[in-house]
Structure 1
Amino acid sequence: MSLSSAIAIAQSAFSTTAQQTATVSKNVANAGNADYSRRMAMLGTTANGAQIVSIYRAQNEALFKQNLATISQSSAQSSLLADLGILKSALGGNDYETAPSTYLSAFRNSLQTFASTPGNSTLAATVVADATDLANSISNTAAAVQALRLDTDKDIAEEVANLNALLAQFETANNAVKAATAAETDTTAVLDERDKLLKQISELVGISTVTRANNDTVIYTTGGTVLFETLARQVSFTPTSAYDANTAGNAIFVDGVPIAAGSGADTTAQGKLAGLLQMRDDIAPTFQSQLDELARGLVELFQEGGLPGLFTWASGTVPVAGTIEAGIASSLSVNPLAKSDPFLLRDGGFNAVISNVDGASGYTELLDGYIAAMDTDMAFDAATGLDGTSSIMEFAAASIGWFEQIRSAASTADENKTALLARTEEALGKVTGVSIDEEMSLLLDLEQSYKASAKLISTVDAMMAALLEAVR
């Protein structure tokens, strides 16, 4: 080997080691970046020794797609659980202290106490006060349900705007990847950016991807609708300004195709948007229907002469038995006559139908009838998701039981999906993530390579010096 060849080899080694060191340094600097994939310098042999042929980006397509799927599932479940938590807070938290069923039990107890001493004016006023609390609980809960639906609708509008922005960014990143691939230049940074955007998109909507020539990526929703192909497809949504029991929210459209809502406590939804739709269009309306049936049942049980008695509502009529009267819960109230004369509950007379014609202070026939009726089976609409035949006490308790069952199952599912997401991220991280120990070990190897190259330069320098000395 000539001295000039040796110098060329040493220079090549220095250049290669410097590039490898820069790659390792970049890996170390991004060790905590979950959106960064580890770089590795690929070496090739030339006449002047080893040289870096390309920078390889660690990746695993199967694990990455699995990670996208678990992100979507976990995001949808977390969104659903968060909204259920809001509704639970409106019901009084863990003990459901402000739930209609709680006030219904208190009302029934005070009614029984009043029946035992029907001449006591204080007890009569207490019953009316407890009835007022019950009516307020039902109407306030109905208002909370519709407020939650409105807030969810606003969240949908916000997330649709975010999704459109992410798709626009993805278009830019995908074009950069295609251009770099076609030009055979470094694609690692733009691929990282594109994968980061895919993760963010999958939080909002379930997706699947297909890679074509020049690393071009096409995105589909899990329902098969094209979300991105060369150009971003438009995701559209029209917000609703106000909600009541009769309001149906608008759909989310991807390129003209509606996104389907999830179903079940362990939701089938993939992506936050499908989870929000499930709460707005399924769970909240079902709970609203249960409140409406509870309110209708109270009006029916305490009617007098075919007209509302103790409990009334905006229409001032007795609704059809066993059929949901949408929105009745929102306007349920106690008859104002009961507040001015609590003994009307004992004697009758809300609608000029007086039962206690003698005005006896010990009269209990009406009170006993009300108490018995509250424990007697009556018809409820099966569309509420509850038993179509039960007492009003059982119906109210079953409503809270239905809600708690959904919330509890959703909480368990959220824990499971969060754990699954953590495991898939860990598995992907082991393939694409940076290990500081591994990078430090590689740096030690590069240090030895640098020392060897420096030793070669030192040896060549000594030989050149000896040669020059010899020719003098």
Structure 2
Amino acid sequence: MSVQLALTSALSGLRTTQQQAAMVSHNLANATTAGYVRRDLDLSAVTTAGRGAGVRVDAVARKVDELLIRDARFETSRYSGQEARASALADYALVLGQPQDEKSVSTQLSKLQQAFARLHDMPNDDAARNAVVSQATALADGLNRAAEAAQTVQEDARGRLQTSVDAVNTSLQRISDLNGRIATLETRGGDAGDLRDERDRLLDQVSQEIGIRTYSREDGQTVVMTRNGQTLLDHPLAPGEQPLTLLGDEVMANGVALSAKPDSEIQSGRIMGYVQTIKQDMPRAMAQLDELAAGIVQAFQGAEADPTQPGLFTDAGAAYGATAGLASRIAVNDAVRTESWRMQSGVQAAAPLQPGDQTQIDKFLTVFTGTRSFAATDMPASATLGGYATAMVSAQQGYRTGAESEMNARKISADTLETARINRDGVNIDDEMQKLLLIEQSYGASAQVVQVAGRMIDILLQIKG
């Protein structure tokens, strides 16, 4: 090898190690930057006329595991969706209470039965009569509060759904802009690694809101779709363009309606959790409450002399009208608030019964022991009022615990995959420091070659002189 070739090779080594040192420094500086992917330099040997002439940098390598990224995003999306749903169910269950809680409607119904039992033993006692009225009021108020809580949770989910849709649109706008910048920069041979990192961070954010799939075009641009293939982004977005919109409670993607069924376009993400809360969980909770309220109103109305007229419980002051929304309207008959003797004689009674007469109280007590038919989802088709109330409260708590259990399982899976992704694509400080030591040694060796070649050239010049 000639001195000139040795010098050329050494100088190329110096230039390369300088670039490597700069790249390692960049990696170390971004070791704690969220979403940063480790960079390496792709090197190749330079040959001249079949002889080695040093080394060159071919490209900045940003190597990621696309399958691992896909799986990590999917599990994170499933976790965030389940977290949103579990949170909503927990908010409702907190108001509804456990079957044994003082505030639960099942406990309030049981206390009303106990109040009637005490009145049966003391039919002429004003305090016992007033206790029945008070407990009936507490039961109606409990149903009202539970219905209000379900409606509040549903409305809150609607607000959060809009926020989530807006977040997706904002991220897709930025991804669209980055697509264009990445394509332009890479066409000119530039390094778009940092732009790709930013785009991946935005895609991670989108996947938390709605489950997505992506693929890259040859020019470096990314196409974004739902898990089932509905397109969200496949062209540059105009300013203000919104791929996702809301039409009532329906999520629309570029004008196509999506839904939150298992085989639909929305399979995961917070949007799925909010849509399920709005269209499934809270309507089911309200329907179950309405069935109980209807059973209570109709049962006590049927215990009166005229079963077509209002009884102890009314539908907003009137006789039973419709089941839908009844838990919000149920109220205690105003007649018993001012004339407590009606708790012994009957709400519709024209005059008080004889002192000690327990006939009407016996009819009221049969309300609690009689079996009725119910038609709510996941509820017994036939049960006593107390049995149905207990089953309803237990079912709601079961929905909550089931959602929380699935959420925790999803979190473990999501955390595991995200850790694997960071370990695979992120910066390991120990590894980078080890590389830095090797670069230092390589740089020193190349510098030594330059020095030796320089001395050799000096000797040759002296000989020629």
Q: TM-score, normalised by structure 1?
A: 0.89
Which residue pairs with 2:50 in the alignment? Answer: none
Percent of residue pairs identical:
29
Out of 338, 341, 359, the position equivalent to 1:340 is 338
In the other structure, the counterpart of 2:414 is: 421
Distance 1:333 1:281 in 2: 27
Q: How does 1:124-143 map to 2 (within 5 A)?
A: 124-143=129-148
What are the ranges of 5 or more consecutive residues in structure 2 without an aligned counterpart?
A: 48-52
Q: What are the equivalent positions in structure 2 for 1:382-401 lying under 5 Å apart?
A: 382-401=375-394
Match for residue 369 of structure 2? 375
Q: In structure 2, what is the equivalent of residue 199 of structure 1?
A: 204
Counterpart mapping for 1:396-415 below 5 A: 396-415=389-408
For residues 205-238 of structure 1, give each alpha carbon's deviation from its aligned partner in whole angstroms, at most 9, with x where no partner exists: 1111222221232222123211111135621114
Partner SS, residue 42 of structure 2: strand
Q: Residues of 2 paired with 1:194 and 1:285: CA distance?
A: 38
Which of the numbers 312, 318, 322 marks the counterpart of 2:314?
A: 312
DSSP-derived class of the 2:438 partner: helix
Q: Deviations over 1:239-281 (max 9, x none)?
A: xxxxxxxxxx5211111222212469xxx84111121010011
Matched residue SS, 1:326: coil
1:43 maps onto 2:43 in alignment:
yes
Q: Which of 56, 67, 70 does residue 72 from structure 2 map onto?
A: 67
Match of 1:242 in 2: none
**Residue number among 227, 246, 249 corresponding to 1:237 in the alignment:** 246
Change (3 A) 1:259 1:5: same
> Does the alignment pair 1:271 with 2:269?
yes
- 1:399 CA drift (Å): 0.6
1:53 to 47, 50, 58: 58
2:289 to 285, 288, 291: 291
Work out whether residues 262 and 275 of structure 1, in 8 Å CA contact, stay in contact via their aligned partners in 2.
no
What SS does the aligned partner of 1:214 have?
Answer: coil
Question: SS of the counterpart of 1:58?
Answer: coil
In structure 2, distance between residues paired with 1:258 and 1:385: 28
* Paired AA for residue 351 in structure 1: Q
Paired with 1:97 and 1:182, the residues of 2 have a C-alpha distance of 69
The aligned counterpart of 2:438 is: 445
Q: Deviations over 1:307-326 (max 9, x none)?
A: 1221112260224xxxx611
- Alpha-carbon distance between aligned partners in 1 of 2:316 and 2:449, rounded to the nearest angstrom: 97
Q: Counterpart of 1:430? A: 423
Would you say 1:365 and 2:359 are equivalent positions?
A: yes
1:385 shift after superposition: 3.0
CA-to-aligned-CA distance 1:326-381 (integer Å, 9 cap, x gap):
11111211112212122211111x33455x63x21x2222222222221211122x
Counterpart residue identity of residue 439, structure 1: E
Deviation at 1:182, TM superposition (A): 2.6
The amino acid across from 2:65 in the alignment is N
The question of whether the paired residues in 1 share the 8 Å contact of 2:99 and 2:390 is answered with no
1:252 and 2:271 are equivalent in the alignment: no
Distance apart, 1:464 and its partner CA:
5.0
Return the alpha-carbon distance in structure 2 between the equivalents of residues 218 and 115 of structure 1: 73
Matched, 1:174 2:168: no
Query: Do 1:42 and 1:52's aligned partners in 2 also have CA atoms closer than 8 Å?
Result: yes
TM-score between the two structures when normalised by the length of structure 2:
0.91
Look up the match of 2:278. Answer: 280
Secondary structure of the corresponding residue to residue 42 of structure 1: strand
- How far 1:94 sits from its partner (Å)? 9.6
Read off the aligned partner of 1:312 and give its amino acid letter. Answer: T
> What is the CA-CA distance between 1:96 and the residue it aligns to?
4.4
- Report the residue type matching 2:138 in the other structure: D
1:259–1:96 Cα change, 3 Å: farther
Instruction: Give the AA of the match of 2:84.
Output: S
**Aligned equivalents of 2:100, 2:435: Cα separation in 1:** 58
Q: Structure 2 CA distance, aligned partners of 1:63 and 1:154?
A: 33
Which whole-Å CA distance do the structure 1 matches of 2:341 and 2:229 have between them? Answer: 65
**Which stretch of structure 1 is more off in the superposition, 370-379 or 91-100?**
91-100
Deviations 1:404-440 (A, max 9, x none): 1111111110011111111211222232122112111
Please tell me whether the aligned partners of residues 44 and 58 of structure 2 are also in contact (alpha carbons under 8 angstroms): yes
Question: Are the counterparts in 1 of residues 123 and 358 from structure 2 also a CA contact under 8 Å?
Answer: yes
Q: Do the aligned partners of 2:120 and 2:358 also contact (CA within 8 Å) in 1?
A: yes
Unaligned ranges ≥5, structure 1: 239-248
Deviates more, 1:212-221 or 1:287-296: 212-221
Cα distance between partner residues in 2 of 1:375 and 1:97 = 21
- AA aligned to 1:234 is P
- Distance in 2 of aligned mates of 1:366 and 1:153: 47
Corresponding residue for residue 104 of structure 1: 109
Residues 34, 433 of structure 1: 8 Å contact kept: no
Between the two proteins, the alignment pairs up a number of residues equal to 450
Cα separation, 2, equivalents of 1:123 and 1:263: 53
Q: What letter corresponds to residue 334 of structure 1 in structure 2?
A: V
Structure 1 position 35, deviation (Å): 0.9
* Matching of residues 74-89 of structure 1 within 5 Å: 74-89=79-94
Distance 1:10 1:94 in 2: 81
Aligned position for 1:161: 166
Contact 1:107 1:127 in 2 (8 A): yes
Correspondences of 1:1-40 after superposition (within 5 Å): 1-40=1-40
Query: Relative to structure 1, is the Cα distance of residues 134 and 269 closer, same or farther in structure 2, using a 3 angstrom cutoff?
Result: farther
CA distance in 1, matches of 2:310, 2:433: 81
